[in-house]
Structures are given as structure tokens and as C-alpha cells.
Amino acid sequence: MTTASGGPGGVTGEEWSAAVEAVRGLAPGADGDEVQLICHVNPDGDALGSMLGFALALRKSGITRLRATFPGEFELPVPYQSLPGVDLLVPESGAFEAPKAVITFDVAAESRLGGLVRLLDAPCVIVVDHHASNTRFGRLNLVDPRAAATSVVVEGLLTRLDVPLDAEIAECLYVALATDTGSFKFDMTTPEVHELAARLIATGISPGDISRRIFDTRPFGAMKLAGDVLGRAALDPAAAAGHGMVWTYATLDDLRRYGQRPYVLDSLIDPIRSVAEADVAVVVKQTGDDEWAVSLRSKGAVDVSAVAVALGGGGHRFAAGFTGHGTPGDVVTAVRARLEDHLL
Ligand code: 5GP
Ligand code: MN
């Protein structure tokens, strides 16, 4: 069997077996066990795609007492509203009260579950993830830090459950894989990633249509907003011991001015991190009066996951985030002060 995860440093044989047994043990049908699927707050393509792909696979296997959710505001970025399986999504308040099983996707730590953390009392809790910083808060943990996306781990589980891929499941897993590999551009784009993509595409999905819809479509106002935010970017060549840092920020007023929702800011880290003179890229996005969601990226000189952890967040070595306070300048000063502690 070819999978894109597993082996040393990944999920052990015992962990796979225990998870397969737990999922197979769920009683199907209208009177069956309640199964609550959860992904992280402000879900991205990997979180939603992995969760919905697995949800569709469970439904296909006869598990019908099934809900999918994420904490916080129940607002799905427009591009994801057409993902297969969105009919299984409920707001946080619509989650099962006392499910038999809880399965989390792309959730690195309990802090990413918001109020849904209460459901971790369930008899069966399976954590499906690929963050090295994962705190292993499940009873069963399928965590493979070498997997390019959580959807790689999901596909490994589906293979072991003998659930075949169909086009709907494949579309969800493909969106997840394309999201976390930067459309197959990042370093973890291994032969196994392309083999998985090939299996997904072979179900009949259309990568061109999916990419255009998910990654390359935005409202005119979002494009104009991007112009403002990119226009105020600042370069700090001396930061990170001379590796350089480029940063910008976006306020709630920016969003209001162009009538845009916060998620449209998430893709702005990509043009920012393309700056040749900087290893580290930072986008500081206002989420409240004194609160900012911070995205960090590095091209290889800095472990930004360690920087994020030092500031109360987490993520991957070269892509991480945290919640900051004060002015955007305060937030960036706090980041800058920690870069030299985490040079690679
Ligand atoms: P992004 O910048 O795309 O929002 O996030 C990059 C990576 O950092 C993702 O893996 C995401 O899960 C993680 N991340 C972003 N913000 C936070 C945070 O506040 N806490 C933790 N633990 N991880 C975060
Ligand atoms: Mn992910």
C-alpha cells in the first residue's frame, strides 16, 4: 500500500489499528452512535477539507448521526461554501451535547477548539493532525508531522478502513492538500504528495476548476483592499540577524471600507513572503479592539513555530501564527525581538 504518511516519526501501526478499530466500532444508522467532527477555529482549506472529506466517507459507510463543526463565528469563507459535505456543517451551538465519538482535524492544541473543548470528555476522542507542535490531547492520536496536510493522514485512515475514494471525498481532500502545499509548491511536496494527488484526480475531479474557485477568485473590493495592505508593507533588513523581515497590517476599518470579511486577508501573506530581501514575513490582522491574528512565514532561516509558541501560538516550522495585543507596531516588535532566538 502506498500512503503519504506513516513509518518512523509518523503514526505507529498500533495507533492506526486502534483508530481503525474505534471507527469500525461506531454503530451506524439512525439510532447509531453520535459522532462529532471538529476542525480548528477560523478553518482553512486543510481543516475544512480534511474534516468534510472524512465526514463524507463516514456517511458513505452508513454513519448517519454525524455533525461537523468548528468553534467561533459560523461563517464559511465564500470559496469553501461549495465544498462537498457542507450540508453536514452546523454552528458550534448545534454540536451534539454528549457524542460517543469526537474526531478533530488539523487541531494542534485544545486552545484551537474554543468552547468545543468541553466535548473532549467523550468516550472516544481521535485527534487527526500533522502539526509537530500537536499536544496529543486525544485518547487516540493520529499525528504525522511529516505529512504535508492533515488530509494525508485522513487518506491513510480511509485506506485502512477500506473506504474507497469518490469524487466528492477526493475534492475535499484535494483542496486540503493543495492548501497546505501552497498548490504543490512548498518543500513538503514529496513524491507521495503527488501520488496522493494523482489518486484524488483519478476520481474525476477537475483541478483547474477547483483551483480557480478556491484560490484564484476574489471580489473586486478584496483586490482593492489588498492594494492598500500591500502598499503599507515595511522592510526591516536588519531583523533576524540580517536575514530580514517584511511586514504589514490590516485593520477592521480596512475591511469595513471595502465591505470585506476577515478571511480575505489570509491570502495576503503570500505576496508579502515573496519579497526577496526578507526571510521572515509577517501579516498582522486586526480581530478586535486590541486583538490581532498574526501570520508568520520563514524561507528557512528562522523557526517561526518556536517564535509563535513563545508568543502563545503555534504552527509549523516555516508557517505559524499567534494572537497579539497592542498596536500592530507593538506586535511586530514582539516578533522581531524573538527572531534571533530561533535562527536555524
Ligand atoms: P496562518 O498564518 O495561515 O493563519 O497559520 C499558519 C499556521 O499556524 C497554521 O498551521 C495554523 O494552524 C497555525 N496557527 C495560526 N495561528 C495560530 C494560533 O493562534 N495558535 C496556534 N497554536 N497555531 C496557529
Ligand atoms: Mn494543516
Query: Which residues on neighbouring strands pair with residue 38, listed in sequence order?
Result: 69, 104
Percent of the chain topping pLDDT 70: 97
Element (H, E) at 130: none
Q: Which pLDDT tens digit goes with each residue over 285-334? A: 999 999 999 999 999 999 999 999 999 999 989 999 999 999 999 999 99
Q: Looking at the CA of 51, which ligand is closest?
A: 2
* Fold of domain 13-214: inorganic pyrophosphatase (n-terminal core) (3.90.1640)
Query: Which segments of the chain belong to CATH 3.10.310.30?
Result: 220-342
**How far, in Å, is the centroid of ligand 1 from the Cα of 21?**
31
Give yes or no for residue 5 having a pLDDT over 50.
no
Give the pLDDT band (50/70/90) at residue 7: very low
Q: Which pLDDT tens digit goes with each residue over 204-249? A: 999 999 999 999 999 999 999 999 999 999 999 999 999 999 999 9
**How far, in Å, is the centroid of ligand 1 from the Cα of 126?**
20
Is 293:285 a contact under the CB 8 Å cutoff? yes
CA 278 to chain centre: 25
Give yes or no for residue 6 having a pLDDT over 60.
no
Res 9: pLDDT: 65
Query: Which segments of the chain belong to CATH 3.90.1640.10?
Result: 13-214
Q: Which pLDDT tens digit goes with each residue over 144-183? A: 999 999 999 999 999 999 999 999 999 999 999 999 999 9
Res 309: pLDDT: 94
Give yes or no for residue 106 having a pLDDT over 80.
yes
Strand ranges in the chain using DSSP code E only, listed in sequence order: 35-39, 66-69, 101-105, 124-129, 140-143, 234-236, 245-250, 280-288, 291-298, 314-316, 319-325
Q: Which amino acid is at 223?
A: M
Average pLDDT, the chain: 95
Task: Read off the pLDDT of each residue in 60-66 and give the average, rounded to a whole number.
Answer: 96
What CATH code is assigned to 220-342?
3.10.310.30
If one residue of 107, 110, 131, 135 were mutated to test the ligand 1 pocket, choosing by the most ligand atoms within 8 A of its CB, it would be 131
- For the chain, give me the number of helices (H) and strands (E)? 11, 11
- CB atoms near residue 35 (< 10 Å): 27
213: exposed, middle or buried (C-beta count within 10 Å: 0-12, 13-18, 19+)? middle
Res 166: pLDDT: 98
Res 133: pLDDT: 87
Give yes or no for residue 194 having a pLDDT over 70.
yes
Question: Which amino acid residue places its CA nearest to atom 10 of ligand 1?
Answer: 315
Give yes or no for residue 31 having a pLDDT over 50.
yes
Res 187: pLDDT: 86
Pocket of ligand 1 from Cβ distances under 6 Å: 108-109, 112, 269, 295, 313-316, 319-323
Task: Read off the pLDDT of each residue in 191-201 and give the average, rounded to a whole number.
Answer: 98
The number of the ligand 1 atom at minimal distance from the alpha carbon of 296 is 2
Cα–Cα distance for residue pair 308/340, rounded to 1 Å: 13
Q: Looking at the CA of 314, which ligand is closest?
A: 1
